[in-house]
Structure 1
Amino acid sequence: MASATTFFDFKPKDKKGEEYSLADLKGKVVLVVNTASKCGFTPQFAGLEKLYQDLKAKNPDFVILGFPCNQFGGQDPGSNDEIQQFCQLNYGVTFPVLGKIDVNGDKAEPLYEWMKSEKPGLMGLKRIKWNFEKFLIGRDGKVKARWASTTKPESLKAEIEKELAKQ
């Protein structure tokens, strides 16, 4: 999607393989996370869910989108249904977890290609290094921040609140 200029221009697939139009999130602040069910960072699902509940209670314009990915050590081998069940049963996840994607390589999800080019990582690297990297999207559909896998969800609260305060 070379013509895309904002986050809202993309339509990744949901857990059923149907288009999930990000245009429906226009005007919201979105935290995008590539997730995995069998990773050392998997317990971050609990922190993400707490962050989601805390911020959504104060501001319904906050959304987290999880994108399962099996590209790092084969740590999310399950089907979309299995991944959904895992997230709900083990971590009580209520934010949308979409369909499994690739975040790097020839088959990378176009949304991820766009986000990586908008906000490269350390030393300008455009690849995702591991599971649970996070991107913050502002109300205008632009990438505002990017955090490494090691960044705990709870440490993002102040920055997300700043973005939510903007109109």
Structure 2
Amino acid sequence: MALILPMVVLVVNVASECGYTDGHYKALVRLQDKLGSTEKFIVLAFPCNQFGNQEPGSYNEILSFAKKNYKVNFPIFSKVDVVGDNAPDVWSYLTENTKQPTWNFWKYLVDENGHVVEAWGPWISVEDITQDIIDVMEGNYSIKSRKRGEL
């Protein structure tokens, strides 16, 4: 399986009641504003309640929270498990050659050919990975150029 879209994708497992929520949602909205207008980049958010039960709401509650508080400008999918037997194929694919998420706001960078090129935990800010995303968009990024070595 491959995650193939004609653009670079940042896939994130999100949660509404996490200590990382405010900073990450704000930064993801700014990132989508900055790079999404190129039509070569998109953020895809997947709510998940597996870590600390920090995403307890229904899909409509999650979407309302994100739109009201952060004016999200990227797709938010239905709540999923991101690890374990109930994880959808997309999450199995993302973690096949990278680390599995151990908390909310793991970020997976996928190039336009569907290859997962990098993954970061929540302690790495969106601002810290923005240049990596731009490099992938411009074709100037390779596995050898990784700076943080988290895979």
Task: Give CA deviations for 1:85-124 in whole Å, capped at 9, x if unaligned.
Answer: 00000111010001100011121121111111122x2xxx
User: 1:142 aligned to 115, 135, 140, which one?
Assistant: 115
* Paired AA for residue 110 in structure 1: D
Quick check: 101-110 or 133-142, which moved more? Answer: 101-110
Q: Distance in 2 between matches of 1:114 and 1:60?
A: 24
For 2:129, the equivalent position in structure 1 comes to 156
- Is 1:7 aligned to residue 8 of structure 2? no
Q: Distance in 2 between matches of 1:130 and 1:27?
A: 29
What is the RMSD of the two structures over their aligned residues, measured on CA atoms?
A: 1.2
For 2:101, the equivalent position in structure 1 comes to 128
- Is 1:115 aligned to residue 88 of structure 2? no
For 2:11, the equivalent position in structure 1 comes to 32
Q: Distance in 2 between matches of 1:114 and 1:141?
A: 10
- Is 1:45 aligned to residue 41 of structure 2? no
- Is 1:94 aligned to residue 76 of structure 2? no
CA-CA distance at 1:166 after TM superposition: 2.3
Q: Distance in 2 between matches of 1:154 and 1:87?
A: 20
> What fraction of aligned residue pairs are identical, expressed as a percent?
37
Runs of 4+ more than 2 Å apart: none
Q: Distance in 1 between matches of 2:106 and 2:29?
A: 15
Q: Which runs of 5+ in 2 are unaligned?
A: 141-151
TM-score (norm 1): 0.80
Q: Distance in 2 between matches of 1:105 and 1:60?
A: 33
For 1:21, the equivalent position in structure 2 comes to none
SS in 2 for 1:144: strand
Q: Distance in 2 between matches of 1:161 and 1:108?
A: 29
Q: Report how many residues are paired.
A: 139
For 2:143, the equivalent position in structure 1 comes to none
Q: Distance in 2 between matches of 1:106 and 1:157?
A: 32
